[in-house]
């Protein structure tokens, strides 16, 4: 069928034109019957967002996706193009993708009137039938709809009321396709008014002249629900014309969140260093995001993007990779210190409330990592802070006694794997504890030992001192007394 090169050949092939929304509906039904994945790579929406998008397409609705940042809204909207036919015929030379059997522009109508069935056509791939505009305060009606060109009118000796002098905007150029406006509330109200005719009457009007061009479009939008409901930047008549409002959300389980991070993070690198990431540390990283979304220090109206855990994972891997390169090692395992090296990825993704600003972004990030470590410790290992005395485990006694004897554990960030192993194994009782609680790969042993020490610190059972790139763990009481200084010091006595 795509061999057709004229309107006459197209008619002979039996091709029939359908509206854009009927086309999307038809292709969706076909994909559903064949069991195809409708939105590949979109995780966690199978029972919530995706069924609602399906309903909107089946209903031939324009839609808006409402959700906080980092909820895959734009990615999903861009995937709508997969519900279009692979190729459609258009009149050759048309600026607005005229249907050969139903031309709407003055140019296309003139071509058909002059050449009839010999009018040349060309085939347009679905990738070119998608238009998108990020709403910004400087967006104009001319950008979206179009404007009259007085120079063109003068050179062609036409009046400004003639359709031939129009410079079409983005929306008409996406005729017979999908047009998306991201962050709709940021579009000025007077510009939103220009969309009303497109949404309801399906035509455009330019400069008030008697030029009306019926368009065949599927419109979709994205917005932050805070903008949508509180700031009121989407005008009521436009909200009324958007048929389906679909609410997106963050991953509801850490399992889904881990899948997303694993899928999106750049973890397979070609630096010659193999970085092993224990499953425990992957879980901690997702717990960081879940705790951030509940933190009193963070503005929950702004949200905590899923991009945070993706970039944090990349930072964590990079910290381990950098250490291995410096030490001339070909493989290494992620450590607790690498987890804290992901702080820069967190601070840029969190909008702090007043209390958070008082604490400082870095301290808030470290606090949230600490809470995630504590949560995973309680989930994976015996709780050292059990409420009832008979429930308190004594499995940590040997470890704590070692520190109580005046010993300390120094773990500089730059330690080689061999030195790291030797330092951890020097703590009495730590290795045997980890071996009895380890699940899975033997590579998980050292990270579990490291995790146990950090978790005991988070439970206020060990002291910790961070100085530059060196962390030192010691007995909690000794650490507190050390911080008070020497009681016999003359300066203290004074």
- Residue 372 in domain: yes
Q: What is the pLDDT of residue 387?
A: 61
| pLDDT, mean over the chain | 90
Q: What is the pLDDT of residue 480?
A: 53
How far from the centroid of its chain's Cα atoms is residue 135's Cα?
A: 18
CB atoms within 10 A of CB 139: 17
Q: How many domains does the structure of the chain reveal?
A: 3
Residue 124 CA: distances (Å) to CA of 24, 130, 270, 303: 16, 11, 39, 39
CB 221 within 8 A of CB 181: yes
| C-alpha span between 231 and 225 (Å, rounded) | 9
- Which ranges of 327-360 does DSSP label H, i.e. alpha helix? 336-340, 343-347, 354-359
What pLDDT is stored for residue 208 in this prediction?
61
This model's pTM is above 0.85? yes
Question: Is residue 331 located within the same domain as residue 376?
Answer: yes
Q: What is the pLDDT of residue 487?
A: 41
- Contact between 306 and 260 under an 8 Å Cβ cutoff? The reply is yes
Q: Both tokens of residue 23?
A: 């086309």
* CATH number of the CATH domain containing 222: 3.40.50.300
Q: Which of 321, 352, 380 is where one domain is finished?
A: 380
* Final residue of a structural domain among 195, 219, 247: 247
- Report helix angle 279-292 to 361-380, nearest 10: 130
Do residue 263 and residue 237 come from a single domain? Answer: no
Q: With 0-12 CB in 10 A as exposed, 13-18 as middle and 19+ as buried, what is 344?
A: middle
pLDDT surpassing 80 at residue 493: no
For residue 20, the tally of other CB atoms under 10 A from its CB is 22
Would you mind telling me the total number of residues written for the chain in this entry? 494
224 and 306, same domain (yes or no):
no
My answer on whether 333 and 398 are in the same domain is no
Q: Residues 171, 283: one domain?
A: no
Pair 373, 402 in one domain: no
Between CA 9 and CA 100 the distance in angstroms is: 11
pLDDT score for 376:
94
Full domain range(s) for residue 327: 250-380
Q: Provide the pLDDT for residue 466.
A: 87
Alpha carbon distance 425, 415 (integer Å): 14
**119 and 91 assigned to the same domain:** yes
Is residue 132 one of the residues assigned to a domain? yes
Residue 398, token pair as written in the block: 């040997």
Question: Alpha-carbon torsion 322, 324, 326, 328, what sign?
Answer: negative
| pLDDT higher than threshold 50 for residue 270 | yes
Here the tokens at position 202 are 């399906």
Could you count the other beta carbons within 10 Å of the beta carbon of residue 473?
21
Question: Is the predicted pLDDT of residue 494 greater than 50, yes or no?
Answer: no
Residue pLDDT, tens place only, 391-408: 556 889 999 999 999 999
DSSP-derived 3-state class of residue 90: strand
Residue 2 lies in a domain: no
Closest C-alpha among 294, 310, 304 to residue 258: 310
pLDDT digits (tens, 9 = 90+) for 424-435: 999 999 999 999
Query: H or E element: which one contains 180?
Result: strand 177-182
Q: Tell me, what's the pLDDT at 227?
A: 55
Measured in whole angstroms, how far is the alpha carbon of residue 140 from the centre of its chain?
A: 28
Which tens digits make up the pLDDT trace of 191-244? Answer: 999 899 888 888 887 766 666 789 999 999 999 886 554 454 789 999 999 999
Say what the pLDDT of residue 323 is.
96
149 plus 190 within the same structural domain = yes
Task: Count CB-CB contacts under 10 A for residue 122.
Answer: 15
> For the residues 468-489, what does the mean pLDDT come to?
66
Q: Per-residue pLDDT tens for 18-52?
A: 999 999 999 999 999 999 999 999 999 999 999 99
């Amino acid at each position: 069928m795509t061999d057709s090169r004229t309107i006459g050949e197209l008619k002979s092939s039996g091709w029939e034109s359908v509206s854009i929304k009927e086309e999307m509906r038809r292709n969706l039904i076909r994909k559903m019957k064949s069991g195809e994945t409708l939105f590949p790579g979109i995780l966690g929406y199978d029972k919530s967002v995706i069924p609602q998008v399906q309903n909107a397409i089946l209903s031939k609705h324009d839609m808006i996706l409402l959700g906080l940042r980092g909820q895959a809204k734009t990615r999903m909207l861009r995937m709508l193009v997969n519900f279009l036919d692979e190729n459609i015929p258009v009149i050759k030379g048309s600026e607005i993708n005229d249907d050969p059997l139903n031309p709407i522009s003055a140019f296309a109508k003139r071509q058909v009137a002059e050449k009839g069935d010999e009018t040349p056509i060309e085939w347009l791939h679905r990738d070119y039938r998608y238009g998108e505009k990020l709403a910004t305060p400087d967006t104009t009606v001319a950008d979206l709809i179009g404007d009259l060109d007085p120079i063109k009118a003068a050179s062609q000796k036409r009046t400004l009321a003639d359709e031939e002098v129009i410079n079409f905007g983005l929306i008409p150029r996406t005729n017979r396709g999908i047009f998306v406006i991201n962050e709709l509330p940021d579009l000025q109200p007077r510009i939103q008014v220009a969309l009303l005719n497109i949404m309801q009457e399906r035509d455009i009007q330019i400069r008030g002249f008697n030029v009306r061009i019926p368009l065949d479009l599927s419109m979709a939008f994205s917005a932050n629900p805070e903008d949508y409901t509180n700031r009121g930047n989407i005008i009521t008549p436009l909200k009324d014309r958007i048929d389906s409002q679909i609410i997106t959300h963050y991953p509801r389980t850490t399992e889904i969140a881990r899948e997303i991070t694993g899928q999106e993070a750049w973890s397979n690198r070609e630096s010659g260093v193999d970085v092993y990431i224990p499953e425990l540390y992957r879980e901690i990283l997702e717990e960081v995001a879940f705790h951030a979304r509940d933190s009193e220090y963070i503005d929950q109206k702004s949200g905590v993007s899923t991009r945070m855990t993706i970039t944090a994972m990349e930072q964590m891997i990079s910290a381990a990779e950098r250490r291995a390169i410096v030490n001339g090692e070909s493989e290494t395992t992620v450590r607790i210190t690498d987890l804290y090296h992901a702080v820069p990825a967190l601070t840029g993704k969190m909008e702090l409330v007043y209390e958070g600003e008082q604490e400082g972004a870095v301290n808030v990030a470290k606090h949230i990592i600490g809470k995630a470590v504590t949560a995973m410790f309680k989930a994976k290992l015996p709780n050292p802070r059990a409420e009832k005395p008979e429930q308190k485990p004594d499995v940590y006694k040997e470890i704590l006694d070692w520190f109580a004897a005046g010993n300390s554990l120094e773990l500089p960030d730059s330690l080689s794997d061999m030195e790291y192993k030797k330092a951890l194994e020097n703590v009495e009782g730590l290795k045997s504890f980890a071996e009895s609680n380890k699940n899975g790969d033997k590579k998980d042993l050292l990270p579990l030992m490291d995790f146990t020490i950090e978790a005991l610190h988070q439970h206020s059972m060990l002291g910790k001192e961070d100085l530059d790139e060196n962390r030192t763990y010691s007995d909690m009481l000794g650490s507190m007394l050390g911080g008070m200084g020497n009681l016999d010091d003359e300066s203290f006595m004074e």
